[in-house]
């Protein structure tokens, strides 16, 4: 492997992560949207493998300074390392959701892009039905938290693009994987709070995927 694990990462999480990344490296795509091409290149396992392994060289455990954090990058320590928290371990989510977290953090390693820092979610932060928006992973409230994006190219934006392309174009994914990718991708799209970014992503993704 081109990446290593710290000794405090539980053995079962190391194996799970290895299997998850192997799954990504085996994906076969029938196409991709324009934004996917800009961020990840052509859809396929070799591109996803390269995207991760050229950015992430180590995986460790941390509390990330936030009880609600699932994972993080700590740029002042290393911009080529991602950290899982206990929330990553104790909550059970589908494989494609775990990969959403991994590739979200991989985007944060890009120091040349100021690590794609998050935008602050609005207060109140409500969905189209007037319900308070919460983390799909932990259930934590998002209002007023640095847990949103104002660009398609940030960590949340790129995660949406990745997942929605998997939903549509992965030819060797089963129906559950494609369904999970759609569910989690739509959820993360809710964290894009800039109107222009949402329009750009809607035109790129949802008009193609519907």
User: Sorting pLDDT into bands at 50, 70 and 90, what band is 2?
Assistant: confident
pLDDT digits (tens, 9 = 90+) for 86-140: 999 999 999 999 999 999 999 999 999 999 999 999 999 999 899 999 999 999 9
Cis status of the peptide bond prior to 124, with omega within 30 of 0: yes
Tell me the whole-structure pTM to 2 decimals: 0.95
Determine contact, residues 156/149, Cβ cutoff 8 Å.
yes
Task: Give how far the C-alpha of residue 153 lies from the chain's centroid of Cα atoms, to the nearest Å.
Answer: 11
Q: How far apart are the first and last CA of the chain?
A: 38
Which stretches does DSSP call E strand in 10-80?
58-61, 71-72
pLDDT of 176 reads 98
Full residue range of the structural domain in which residue 112 is found: 4-209
Q: Is 92 exposed, middle or buried (0-12, 13-18, 19+ CB in 10 A)?
A: exposed
Domain tally, the chain: 1
């Amino acid at each position: 492997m081109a990446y290593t694990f710290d000794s405090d990462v539980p053995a079962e999480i190391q194996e799970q992560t290895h299997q998850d990344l192997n799954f990504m490296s085996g994906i076969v795509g029938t196409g991709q949207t324009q934004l996917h091409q800009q961020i990840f290149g052509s859809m396929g396992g070799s591109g996803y493998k390269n995207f991760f392994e050229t950015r992430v060289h180590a995986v460790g455990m941390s509390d990330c300074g936030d009880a609600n954090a699932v994972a993080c990058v700590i740029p002042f320590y290393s911009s080529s390392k991602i950290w899982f928290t206990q929330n990553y371990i104790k909550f059970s989510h589908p494989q494609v959701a775990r990969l959403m977290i991994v590739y979200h953090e991989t985007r944060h390693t890009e120091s040349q892009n100021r690590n794609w820092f998050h935008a602050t979610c609005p207060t109140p932060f409500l969905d189209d039905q007037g319900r308070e928006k919460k983390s799909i992973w932990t259930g934590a409230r998002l209002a007023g938290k640095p847990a949103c994006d104002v660009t398609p190219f940030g960590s949340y934006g790129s995660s949406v693009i990745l997942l929605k392309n998997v939903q549509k174009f992965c030819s060797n994914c089963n129906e559950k994987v494609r369904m999970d990718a759609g569910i989690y991708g739509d959820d993360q799209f809710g964290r894009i709070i800039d109107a222009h970014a949402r329009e750009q992503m809607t035109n790129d993704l949802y008009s193609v995927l519907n």
